[in-house]
Amino acid sequence: MTDKLYAADKRYSEIEKLLADANVASNPAKFAALSKEYKRLTPIVEEFRVYCRANDDAKEAKEILDNESDADLRALAEEEYYEKRKQSEESYNRLRILLLPKDENDDKNVVVEIRAGAGGEEAALFAGVLYRMYQMYADKKRYKTEIVNCNDTELGGYKEISFTVEGEGAYSRLKFESGVHRVQRVPETEAQGRIQTSTVTVAVLPEAEDVEIEINEKDLQIETCKSSGAGGQHINKTESAIRIIHKPSGIVVECQEERSQYKNRDKAMKLLRSKLYDIKMREQTDKIASERKSQVGTGDRSERIRTYNYPQGRVTDHRIGLTLHSLEDVLNGNMDALIDALLSADEAEKLKASAM
């Protein structure tokens, strides 16, 4: 581990010099790549330097402790020694986490798909509640959200809704939301006051760049049609809605949120690219069986990950056994307690796996 850290420190210093070089600055692609690497190395190198300083200070204090005869100086040196030893151990543990393999998608934007499952209209209404929750969370994080496509119901719910979340670290914060979300509550339409259990499926897909997924235009069947639903006078008058079928995979994506056919096509292609990238990533993950053991969840869409219980005002994440009695708070977008706990559990599993 120490060799890796010294190598990272050396590389960090090299990049600092390169970024100050006029020749590099005039090459946008190279400058961007070096800046990205510099940003990735910064927290590691900064922590490593804290670790080294703490170790050096501990050594100095130990020398005084071993060679000094004055009782007062020895007492000060002993206090300094144990304090710096503690700092060194804490810094070492932070470095272990920083050196864990980083998910290459963590800094990407995401596409979130929410679909009503079992429960009919009640499931569709809860899909709307989850969309609002993620939208409010994104606002708190200063992420930008934009609807790609939605199929709403008369009561204000969604049979399905797809939207993008753009912002630094969006995928790292939302990646554990994929799976089945279960809600237990009394529907507004239930006269007897009986609790109903419904489900909603959430999928979080990292947004893929053009260079990562190559799509052959010959593999696409693109259809245009009139938009439907709320949206203004243009609805049902212009064929602005886009439906794209990717023939090799059978994936179908739609977008009708924009008045412009071009913008709808662009959004639909972004969604298709992300779906194909997701398939590619899943195939790679499936080949590494051990990796599944170091993850909080498999990301399987059929895996029940969380229950929202309205009568008890609680949220339970089944993967880590965490229950919060703050349902309303969570549904209002205050999700950090859940997300931080999931990230910590994932780090703990990966640390355990790396020690084997």
The H or E element that residue 200 is part of is strand 196-206
Note the pLDDT of residue 93: 87
Note the pLDDT of residue 292: 40
List of E strands, 212-250: 220-225, 241-246
Give percent above pLDDT 70 in the chain: 88
Note the pLDDT of residue 155: 84
Angle at CA of residue 112, ends 119 and 114, nearest 5°: 10
In contact, 81 and 62? CB cutoff 8 Å: yes
Domain 110-207+288-352 has CATH 3.30.70.1660: yes
Asked whether the predicted pLDDT for residue 262 surpasses 50, the reply is: yes
Question: Is 46 or 187 the better-scoring residue by pLDDT?
Answer: 46
Range with top average pLDDT, 63-67, 153-157, 179-183, 219-223: 179-183
As a whole number of angstroms, the distance between CA 46 and CA 95 comes to 10
Question: Is 343 or 215 the better-scoring residue by pLDDT?
Answer: 343
Which tokens go with 336?
Answer: 């950090």
Asked whether the predicted pLDDT for residue 70 surpasses 70, the reply is: yes
Give percent above pLDDT 90 in the chain: 47
Asked whether the predicted pLDDT for residue 127 surpasses 50, the reply is: yes
Q: In the chain, what are the domain boundaries? A: 2-98, 110-207+288-352, 217-284
In three-state secondary structure terms, 165 is strand
Strand partners, 196: 185
DSSP 183: E
Question: Is 103 or 302 the better-scoring residue by pLDDT?
Answer: 103
Query: pLDDT grade, residue 227 (50/70/90)?
Result: low
DSSP 219: G
Note the pLDDT of residue 298: 41
Note the pLDDT of residue 232: 42
Asked whether the predicted pLDDT for residue 236 surpasses 60, the reply is: no
Phi/psi for 12 (5° steps) reads -60, -45
> Could you report the per-residue pLDDT of 82-119, keeping only the tens digit for each?
999 999 999 998 898 888 877 778 888 999 999 999 88
Note the pLDDT of residue 350: 82
Asked whether the predicted pLDDT for residue 233 surpasses 50, the reply is: no
Query: pLDDT grade, residue 226 (50/70/90)?
Result: low
As a whole number of angstroms, the distance between CA 347 and CA 332 comes to 27
Which tokens go with 134?
Answer: 């993620």
Query: pLDDT grade, residue 239 (50/70/90)?
Result: low
Q: Find the range with the poorest average confidence among 118-122, 148-152, 257-261.
A: 257-261
| Range 217-284: architecture per CATH | 2-Layer Sandwich (3.30)
Angle at CA of residue 277, ends 276 and 281, nearest 5°: 120
In contact, 320 and 345? CB cutoff 8 Å: yes
pTM metric for this prediction = 0.70
Note the pLDDT of residue 290: 44
In contact, 323 and 307? CB cutoff 8 Å: no
As a whole number of angstroms, the distance between CA 298 and CA 318 comes to 13
What average pLDDT does the structure give for the chain?
Answer: 85
